Structure 1
């Protein structure tokens, strides 16, 4: 799928990037609260969830369903067209019965008998299926073609739905693994409950003020870890800027990051910025240290947009 359902807005890279990079402008209050300057959805209420489902392989193009509906309507029309033919065949049966009677009554009249036999053979061949009128043949062929296409589409739709169910289970399993790696959490799931549409990723039991933040972080990580799956369109990139909010304990943060590091998978990139000093096991993973103590500590090695004026 290259367009968002409903709005038909083309899917663009900056929209996916807004999801995969939660910075200081996108707090951890709602899973679909992304960087507003990088999204520009025409339907902001529904588009983030639809985009996530498409990227994760949880939504297929509705073309099969639409074609199935169209074929079903065509099939009903063909059946309606065949109804008069059924009445015609019934009339032929009646005509055949009349001819049988006429045949029996005309044994003494040679010409009448000859005509009756000719008519009888013609109608009897149609009634018994040995021969058919052109209209009947055409209708039967169209009806058979429509029924065959309808059956093919139904099988295809069933396969697509089974594939979506399988993808949902795979991502739920990834979320379960993340949740169980955290202290005191016992389960995690990708929910499809409309009542909690703003909480697609859920963990339990709920037990701290950091619960909502952890669900968002864990959901992002589950998607990242699943990005190596052939059915996923996730870019394999994730940025969490200062995720340790709401007084999240250090042990919880390091447990979360340890789960990512334990996979030993180099097919994705996960960037975390934090002011918390890393424990020793994470020291080899530190790529950059920034500090405001001197110009060398800044990202660009000097202050940007800040000029120092003399006091006199």
Structure 2
């Protein structure tokens, strides 16, 4: 693809420093790790300009014979975290690593000499827990060990940074909630986490770093507003308008969810009513026009439910149930009466038979009593009396025997009558039962039929009433849906107007982004080649970084290059004095795996070109495993060499437990 020739050759990277801007507004002169007070483990001196902390990879150096020696695990990332810890971040490592370091360094400290607007500050912070933090102006860190009972906290340094560098005006613009979060947000940008891999211009802190940075809970929109505030590319009016637009955007989501809920409710309720009325969806117009048609159909169905069967009297269902219960009781009583009679008849017959069996013997006893005989000699009493008998003089009681005989006859007569009456009762009951059962069955059938008809009519009536109630509820839900749609439309209109106003505000900041694009483009061209170009734009969708190289490129390496070039471009603007950031930058292992080594090295040539003769207006610290360009593998650029093995070559000079 042919490249369109440019009328004017782009200007090379050059920064015009403001008066008095020959030194960074904030830079770190020295970082020291202490095993305990008075016993430094490692002290790393830094300078304004380009600084390398290098952990060589043996393979890159052509040496693969050292067993266990690695370019990783030497402490580069821990160095970065300790440095930003000394600049005000709350944590210097994930929890497990902090515990290990705290165990190995029970009385350990980390200190930094920070230069702010030309004035030195001493920072001393513990590596363990339970001790105070110190930030004091005009002294050396070693002097702070003499006043360990007088902790100041980090507030003095952070207050000074926010007043002298960020400024109170910009601090007030920052979209943060807590005191000192304005600087901590800026610090997160200036010292990106290695875990973010330079994937996005607004990715500053990874959750796994456990840094407690306020940026971890900030949305991309708030991070972008913070970035624009720090580069003087947003005004208080735009900030307020953006906050209102963001709030309305959240409300719009709520209203859209509400409208979707009412829409779902209306559609499902309408479907249920159509199914209940047995109507196809096409039989009723859509929307509010169909509500009256649904109501008319529901009233017709309700009228049909009010009709009854002429052959069944359901006017007094309870009276019919009472008659059926009475008829069933008659059948029950007759069945019980028959069962009792059938069980009593054999008993009565048995008793009658026994009585009848006693009657002949009793009759003989009466006859014998009328002509009594001696019980011993069996001689008639009359003869014995006439002739005389010396053996017996006792005679039977004739009256008593006659009385007993009469009673027995009476009992036989009564029991015989009782047997006859029981038999008559059995016969009569047997004759009544069929008719009683028929009457009961007829009434039971009538009750069941009447109940079925009543239930059917009641169900149909209830369903008809429910249909009318559902249609009334559908009408209310439809009104709520329309109201929610109106609110959504009104909010959308208000947001669109605010977006137009925000676009106008962004147009007013075109000069800032134009200057940023000039630096960004110059860095891209210097690093990639004269056929490449870069541009930074801001629109309603956010900030966009573009690299043109035979068309717009967007690979993993190009994305990381964009982020690095953007940070360097902002650093150039900070050197120029047009941002509210110090010209300070810390990049932890910025080279992605597929970023060309030549491009990576040319980036440092670009930065080196910004250095002054005696001092530099910026401080750029890079930790790297990839070897720096040969020219920078020496002082003053190479500040420290760390190795993964042996332990004495690591940052902390020991193995952690």
Both proteins in one fold, TM over 0.5: yes
Instruction: Please say if residues 225 and 260 of structure 1, whose CA atoms lie closer than 8 Å, have aligned partners that are also in contact.
Output: no
Describe the shift of the 1:26–1:19 C-alpha distance in structure 2 as closer, same or farther (beyond 3 A). same
Q: Which residue of 506, 511, 516 maps to 1:166? A: 511
Matches within 5 A, 1:225-236: 225-236=572-583
Describe the shift of the 1:49–1:162 C-alpha distance in structure 2 as closer, same or farther (beyond 3 A). closer
Secondary structure, in 3 states, of the residue corresponding to 1:12? Answer: helix
Secondary structure, in 3 states, of the residue corresponding to 2:631? Answer: helix
Whether 1:247 aligns to 2:594 is yes
Q: Which residue of 531, 535, 544 maps to 1:200? A: 544
Describe the shift of the 1:183–1:25 C-alpha distance in structure 2 as closer, same or farther (beyond 3 A). closer
After superposition, give the CA deviation of every residue in 1:173-200 in whole Å (9 maximum; x if it has no partner): 11111111022452111111334x3x53
Whether 1:238 aligns to 2:585 is yes
**Partners of 1:162 and 1:288 in 2: how far apart?**
46
Q: Offset of 1:45 from its aligned partner?
A: 3.0
Whether 1:302 aligns to 2:476 is no
Q: Which residue of 227, 251, 255 maps to 1:52? A: 227
Instruction: Please say if residues 176 and 182 of structure 2, whose CA atoms lie closer than 8 Å, have aligned partners that are also in contact.
Output: no
Q: TM-score normalized by structure 1?
A: 0.60
Secondary structure, in 3 states, of the residue corresponding to 1:302? Answer: coil
> 2:477 maps to what in 1?
none
**Partners of 2:239 and 2:520 in 1: how far apart?**
30
**Partners of 1:65 and 1:252 in 2: how far apart?**
41
**Partners of 1:18 and 1:3 in 2: how far apart?**
18
Secondary structure, in 3 states, of the residue corresponding to 1:257? Answer: helix
> 2:620 maps to what in 1?
270
Instruction: Please say if residues 644 and 650 of structure 2, whose CA atoms lie closer than 8 Å, have aligned partners that are also in contact.
Output: yes
After superposition, give the CA deviation of every residue in 1:194-252 in whole Å (9 maximum; x if it has no partner): 34x3x533222217541111111111111112111222111211111111113211101
Matches within 5 A, 1:177-216: 177-184=522-529, 186-195=532-541, 197=542, 200-205=544-549, 206=553, 208-216=555-563
Whether 1:291 aligns to 2:636 is no
> 1:12 maps to what in 2?
182
**Partners of 2:192 and 2:174 in 1: how far apart?**
24
Secondary structure, in 3 states, of the residue corresponding to 1:189? Answer: strand
Instruction: Please say if residues 175 and 225 of structure 2, whose CA atoms lie closer than 8 Å, have aligned partners that are also in contact.
Output: no
Point out where structure 2 has 5 or more consecutive residues left out of the alignment. Answer: 1-169, 242-504
**Partners of 1:64 and 1:183 in 2: how far apart?**
36
> 1:281 maps to what in 2?
631
Q: Offset of 1:296 from its aligned partner?
A: 2.5
> 2:236 maps to what in 1?
61
Q: TM-score normalized by structure 2?
A: 0.30
Instruction: Please say if residues 175 and 190 of structure 1, whose CA atoms lie closer than 8 Å, have aligned partners that are also in contact.
Output: yes
Secondary structure, in 3 states, of the residue corresponding to 1:259? Answer: helix
**Partners of 1:236 and 1:271 in 2: how far apart?**
11
Q: Offset of 1:63 from its aligned partner?
A: 8.3
After superposition, give the CA deviation of every residue in 1:117-140 in whole Å (9 maximum; x if it has no partner): xxxxxxxxxxxxxxxxxxxxxxxx
Matches within 5 A, 1:109-188: 164-184=509-529, 186-188=532-534
Q: Offset of 1:6 from its aligned partner?
A: 6.5
Describe the shift of the 1:27–1:162 C-alpha distance in structure 2 as closer, same or farther (beyond 3 A). closer
Describe the shift of the 1:247–1:16 C-alpha distance in structure 2 as closer, same or farther (beyond 3 A). same
Secondary structure, in 3 states, of the residue corresponding to 2:567? Answer: helix
Q: Offset of 1:254 from its aligned partner?
A: 0.5
Q: Offset of 1:295 from its aligned partner?
A: 2.6
- Backbone CA RMSD of aligned residues: 2.8
Larger Rg: 2
Secondary structure, in 3 states, of the residue corresponding to 1:62? Answer: helix
More strand by share: 2
**Partners of 2:525 and 2:624 in 1: how far apart?**
23
Q: Offset of 1:65 from its aligned partner?
A: 9.0
Q: Offset of 1:300 from its aligned partner?
A: 2.3
If asked which structure has higher relative contact order (CA below 8 Å, sep 6+), I would say 2
> 1:84 maps to what in 2?
none
Instruction: Please say if residues 173 and 236 of structure 2, whose CA atoms lie closer than 8 Å, have aligned partners that are also in contact.
Output: no
> 2:307 maps to what in 1?
none
